[in-house]
Amino acid sequence: MGMKAYSEDLRERVVAAVKRGTKRGEVVEAFAVSRATVKRWVKQQRETGTLAAKPIPGPPAIKRDALLAALPERLVASADATLEEHCSWWQERTGDDVSTATMSRAITALAWTRKKRP
């Protein structure tokens, strides 16, 4: 869903450039990262000794993974169903409530295009 983390290699090159005394503005230009990102990485290196990407906060996407696994079959069987109907189906099937927004994102993640009846 979200943005991919910058590579550890890039992080190391950016921090190394700052440590060599390269001006922040030049580092921002050269590596196409924001000033805030440079500042955050330098601070992270100083405080933790590592530049590894931090895990994405929040609970693991167990519900979403299950939804993505079950959806293709449902979409084929019920191509004309509304988001609300898909949500009701999921609720009946699993006991888990999902919002229409979550359902919409899951369908989008599957790159599903809805075929309407003529």
Instruction: Give residue-wise pLDDT tens across range 23-59.
Output: 999 999 999 999 999 999 999 999 999 898 887 777 7
What does pTM read for this prediction? 0.49
CB 40 within 8 A of CB 70: no
- What Rg, from alpha-carbon coordinates, does the chain have? 22
Position 53 scores a pLDDT of: 86
CB 109 within 8 A of CB 65: no
Phi-psi region of 16 (alpha: psi -120 to 50; beta: other; left: phi over 0): alpha
pLDDT in tens, 67-115: 999 999 999 999 899 999 999 999 999 998 999 999 998 988 887 655 5
Backbone φ, ψ for residue 28 (5° rounding): -60, -45
Position 24 scores a pLDDT of: 94
